[in-house]
Amino acid sequence: MAQIILKVDGVCKNFGGLSAVSEYQLALPEGKIFGLIGPNGAGKTTLFNLISGVIKPTKGHIFLKGTDITSWRPDQIAAMGLTRTFQNLRLFSSLTVEMNLKVAHHLHIDYRLTSALLNFPSLFQKEKQLQKKVDEILDVFVMSQYRQELTGNLPYGLQRKLDIARALMTEPEVILLDEPSSGMNTREAEDLAHLIGQLQIQFQLTLMVVEHRMAFVMGLAEVIQVLDYGSVLAQGSPEEVRNNPQVIEAYLGTGDSVA
């Protein structure tokens, strides 16, 4: 049995009178791809915001590698090994691809200016290591040829890939991906699914993926959890989830289809 790397226990989030996430439970096994689906407004992004420290739960606890990280800041959680991407891209469009990767590293990793100035050789060493990391990531993403391009000039599909590449710059163990294939065409989405599978193996990642594109998430995840009105409606293999009458019911009339 794989170790549980991320555990969420009875987490609730209320926005005024609205219960966006309610008594949520998760035991995420290390080294797996876990899918999270649910109709619009089900609470998927809110859950990612809670786990990554962007917002604080009203109630409940979140454990990463056995440590209670409830109410930790996002940078502290990133330093502990968990990072996430956002539903809407947050790239620096006027910076080059390479700079976006470097900035992602600097934003999350301890890099104090004073210690850097006092210890110039170590700074130089760090820059060399950082460049090596950038080269490695660009290579894995087959994006080396775009390193000096301004990010805003890249086709949209490549910008979405770069967003995931940025997440990898902090050397995470767990990544939460919020609708990574959003806005992509079918071909780009298929390529991305392949890339995510490859990243999981190469970097030994644990991934939690929110997706509306059913073929994408069902082909990628071993286990899928279905969220509806902030609560877990079902959890199981893609096959089990697809055939669950309650899940089919929840999706009726939403425009998405599980069956």
Ligand X SMILES: Nc1ncnc2c1ncn2[C@@H]1O[C@H](COP(=O)(O)OP(=O)(O)OP(=O)(O)O)[C@@H](O)[C@H]1O
Query: CB-wise, 19 or 144, nearer to ligand X?
Result: 19
C-alpha–C-alpha distance, residues 231 and 240, integer Å: 18
CB of 2 to ligand X, least distance (A): 26
22, 46, 85, 235: residue in contact with ligand X (rule CB under 6 A): 46
Question: Using CB under 6 A, which of 15, 111, 124, 156 touches ligand X?
Answer: 15
Binding site for Mg ion (CB under 5 A): 44-45, 87
33: nearest Cα among 192, 146, 169: 192
Q: Which is nearer to ligand X, 144 or 182 (CB)?
A: 182
Q: Is 56 in the site for ligand X (CB under 6 A)?
A: no
Residue of 11, 26, 28, 42 that binds ligand X (CB under 6 A):
42
41 binds ligand X (CB under 6 A): yes
213 alpha-carbon distance from chain centroid: 16
| Nearest CB to ligand X, comparing residues 146 and 251 | 251
- Strand order of the sheet with strand 67-68? 18-29, 4-15, 59-64, 67-68
Give the per-residue contact string, 85-124, with ligand X (x = CB under 6 A; - = no): --x-------------------------------------
41 binds, among Mg ion, ligand X, none (CB under 5 to 8 A by kind): ligand X
- Residue 154 or 164: the one with the smaller Cβ distance to ligand X is 164
Q: Which is nearer to ligand X, 169 or 210 (CB)?
A: 210
Binding site residues, ligand X, CB under 6 A = 15, 18, 20, 38, 40-46, 87
